[in-house]
């Protein structure tokens, strides 16, 4: 599989005086599925937000498909990335948020079509066809003309996934996409993610509290604690019998 599609090199992140991430080193292989687990406040969301360019690292580098995300070269020197550079590099990345963040003034179909048309300059007809196809795939083919306010949480989150997927990203980020949902709606969303994962083409980073689910679909599980990746390995290794005391006590809470 050659070069990693994403590489974090000694990435630090502070909010004010508080250092949340204290040196993250991580290679994400092409098409690899990585689950990120860890206690609340350990920086899971921050890790993927930096990759989505929603949060700037305090130091360190993030390399996406061979390109430095937060820095660019200018007169032979590395300088902070400008908006143009960020737009070039983040085009390969998509994200699904905990609170959906659908555009309330657009129909479901418009939510999906708008970025392919305006960002990728795809022609309207094919963007529409692909969007409809994608919405059918997530089981919402009968809701095209509806507005987000008319959908259940589970449906909203499936629209959010379709909206990200029509952009054909190489890397998809999921930030606890089921934790704002009523329990009975969680499974329909996880089901869609499983389908996407099994198609296999995209690299995926999933921040999740659904341990069963992580075990199910992840190639690798990271346990984030104390600002670093405290433990990582295959699901068997991480969920099996780890030596790590903190990981053990973290997992124990989910076994009950």
Ligand X SMILES: Nc1ncnc2c1ncn2[C@@H]1O[C@H](COP(=O)(O)OP(=O)(O)OP(=O)(O)O)[C@@H](O)[C@H]1O
Instruction: List contacts with other proteins (CB under 8 A).
Output: 52-54, 83, 87, 90-91, 93-95, 97, 99-105, 107, 109, 114-115, 118-119, 144-147, 149-150, 163-164, 167
Q: Answer for the pair 192, 161: CB distance below 8 angstroms, yes or no.
A: yes
Instruction: Residue 75: name its binding partner from other proteins, ligand X, Mg ion, none (Cβ under 5 to 8 Å by kind).
Output: none
Least CB distance from residue 140 to other proteins, whole Å? 12
Pick the piece of the chain touching ligand X (CB under 6 A) from 36-44, 73-81, 137-145, 188-196: 36-44
Phi-psi region of 200 (alpha: psi -120 to 50; beta: other; left: phi over 0): left
The answer to whether residues 134 and 165 touch, using CB atoms and an 8 Å cutoff, is yes
User: Per rule CB under 5 A, is residue 208 in the interface with Mg ion?
Assistant: no
From first CA to last CA, the distance across the chain in angstroms is 38
22-81 binders of Mg ion (CB under 5 A): 45
Q: State the nearest-atom distance from the C-beta of 1 to ligand X, in Å.
A: 28
Q: Which of 74, 242, 117 has the alpha carbon at shortest distance from 232?
A: 242
Residues 13 and 43: beta-carbon distance below 8 Å: yes
Minimum distance, C-beta of residue 139 to other proteins, in the bound complex (Å): 16
CB nearer to other proteins: pick between 53 and 208: 53
Q: Which residues of 9-31 are buried (b: 16+ CB within 10 A; e: fewer)?
A: bebebeeeeeebbeebebebbbb
Binding of residue 41 to ligand X (CB under 6 A): yes
User: Nearer Cβ to other proteins, position 66 or 145?
Assistant: 145
Residue 115 interacts, among Mg ion, ligand X, other proteins, none and using kind-specific CB cut-offs from 5 to 8 Å, with other proteins
Provide the angle, in degrees to the nearest 10, between the axes of the packed helices 153-165 and 183-199: 20
Q: CB nearer to other proteins: give 109 or 217.
A: 109
CA 220 to the chain's CA centroid: 15
Pick the closer one to Mg ion by CB: 20 or 251.
20
Q: Which residue, 19 or 216, is less far from ligand X as judged by CB?
A: 19
36-71: string of b/e by CB count within 10 Å (b at 16+)? Answer: bbbeeebbbbbbbbbbbbebebeebebbbbeebbbb
Q: Does 208 bind ligand X (CB under 6 A)?
A: no
CB 26 within 8 A of CB 72: no
Is residue 20 involved in binding ligand X (CB under 6 A)? Answer: yes
Residues in contact with ligand X by the rule CB under 6 A: 15, 20, 38, 40-46
Residues in contact with Mg ion by the rule CB under 5 A: 45
């Amino acid at each position: 599989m050659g070069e990693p599609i994403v590489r974090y090199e000694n990435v630090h992140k502070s909010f004010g005086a508080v250092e949340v991430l204290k040196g993250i080193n991580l290679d994400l292989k092409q098409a690899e599925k990585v689950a990120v687990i860890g206690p609340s406040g350990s920086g899971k969301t921050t890790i993927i937000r930096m990759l989505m360019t929603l949060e700037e690292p305090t130091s360190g580098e993030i390399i996406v498909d061979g390109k430095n995300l937060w820095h660019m070269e200018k007169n032979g020197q590395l300088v902070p990335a400008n908006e143009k550079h960020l737009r070039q590099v983040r085009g390969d990345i998509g994200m699904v948020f905990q609170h959906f963040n659908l555009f309330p003034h657009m129909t479901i179909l418009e939510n999906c079509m708008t970025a392919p048309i305006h960002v990728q300059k795809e022609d309207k007809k094919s963007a529409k066809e692909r969007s409809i196809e994608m919405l059918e795939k997530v089981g919402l083919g009968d809701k095209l003309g509806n507005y987000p306010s008319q959908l259940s949480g589970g449906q909203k989150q499936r629209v959010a996934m379709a909206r990200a997927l029509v952009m054909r990203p190489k890397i998809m980020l999921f930030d606890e996409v089921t934790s704002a949902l009523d329990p009975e709606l969680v499974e329909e969303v996880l089901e869609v993610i499983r389908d996407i994962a099994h198609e296999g083409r995209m690299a995926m980073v999933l921040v999740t509290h659904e341990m069963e689910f992580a075990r199910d679909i992840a190639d690798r599980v990271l346990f984030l604690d104390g600002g670093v990746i405290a433990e990582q390995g295959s699901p068997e290794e991480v969920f099996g019998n780890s030596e790590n005391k903190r990981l053990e006590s973290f997992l124990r809470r989910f076994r009950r």
